[in-house]
Amino acid sequence: MSLPQIVDSHCHLDFPQLADEIDDVIARARAAGVTRMVTICTKLREVGRVRAIAEAHEGVFFAAGTHPMSVASEPMVSVAELVALAAHPKMVGIGESGLDYHYTADSMKVQQDSLRVHIEAARQTGLPLIIHARDADDDMARILTEEYRAGAYTCVMHCFSSSAALAEAALDLGFYLSMSGIAAFPKSTELRQIFAAAPIDRILMETDAPYLAPPPYRGKRNEPSYTVHTAQVGADLFDMDLASFAAATSANFDRLFWKAA
């Protein structure tokens, strides 16, 4: 019997927890049915090593941007830089960008400026924007909506764990919600309800590896092969078998991340 084919739409294969055994990590993912992965660059000066991982491995793609928690200490990215990087055949998304007021509220203004740059790059390239949002729901919904009205773009709310109001705002704009291991945590009842209320054609899967491992690996290093554990939780939420849920979320990935389809 063939395994359901699952996509890990967001991981960090260049991070030291995974990079030292990258070939084994990717082999374990494939053995678990995770045939495609998007590895995310969080600081533009590190894009070379992220791109190299994608170039060296079939089924691995990359995205590039400046993480909101790093914008205060990194040079401000330009639209032109992101557009130039997007010419690479394996660069499939813009980001991750966004707002994080949990640890870095002091850089609120520069985070917002950076977010708008990433949105414009997503507009110009047609690649999806990858959003990190934490403790910034009101500003996040406002900026995404303002910018969408100024010119359409596509977007995924990566590792979604925010409010129902932000989920609704994102879905109203035609955006996608990505389910990480957080949705599989026993206490994440409200989050699971948010996902269950969303249309199945707007759900993606991810690990955010090496972070946020789902049960039964919670507290350990995460890796793309564990996507299947979160996918089973998602399948149960939507009252689907795993193969059907994997097929649906993979089709969603292909629609949004069209360069990786």
In the β-sheet with 155-157, what is the strand arrangement from edge to edge?
6-11, 34-41, 60-64, 91-100, 129-134, 155-157, 176-179, 203-205
Q: Is 120 one of the annotated binding-site residues?
A: no
Residue 1 lies inside a defined structural domain of this protein: no
Q: Based on the structure, what is the number of domains in the chain?
A: 1
Residue 248 burial (C-beta neighbours within 10 Å; 0-12, 13-18, 19+): middle
Residue 130 lies inside a defined structural domain of this protein: yes
pLDDT for the residue 1: 61
- Say which CATH number the domain at 229 has: 3.20.20.140
Predicted confidence (pLDDT) per residue in 132-154, tens digit: 999 999 999 999 999 999 999 99
Predicted confidence (pLDDT) per residue in 82-115, tens digit: 999 999 999 999 999 999 999 999 999 999 999 9
Residue 105 lies inside a defined structural domain of this protein: yes
User: Structural domain of residue 122, as residue ranges?
Assistant: 6-260
Q: Is 12 one of the annotated binding-site residues?
A: yes
Residue 87 lies inside a defined structural domain of this protein: yes
Residue 118 lies inside a defined structural domain of this protein: yes
Q: Is 229 one of the annotated binding-site residues?
A: no
Q: Distance of alpha carbon 245 from its chain centroid, rounded?
A: 18
The pTM for the full model equals 0.97
Residue 155 lies inside a defined structural domain of this protein: yes
Q: How far apart are CA 39 and CA 27, in angstroms?
A: 15
pLDDT for the residue 2: 79
Predicted confidence (pLDDT) per residue in 165-219, tens digit: 999 999 999 999 999 999 999 999 999 999 999 999 999 999 999 999 999 999 9
Residue 249 lies inside a defined structural domain of this protein: yes
Q: How far is CA 155 from CA 46, 86, 123, 240, in A?
A: 23, 16, 10, 25
Q: Is 57 one of the annotated binding-site residues?
A: no
Q: Distance of alpha carbon 94 from its chain centroid, rounded?
A: 10
Angle ∠(13,19,21) on CA atoms, nearest 5: 115
Residue 50 lies inside a defined structural domain of this protein: yes
Q: What is the mean pLDDT of residues 31-44?
A: 97
Q: Is 10 one of the annotated binding-site residues?
A: yes
Q: How far apart are CA 67 and CA 127, in angstroms?
A: 17
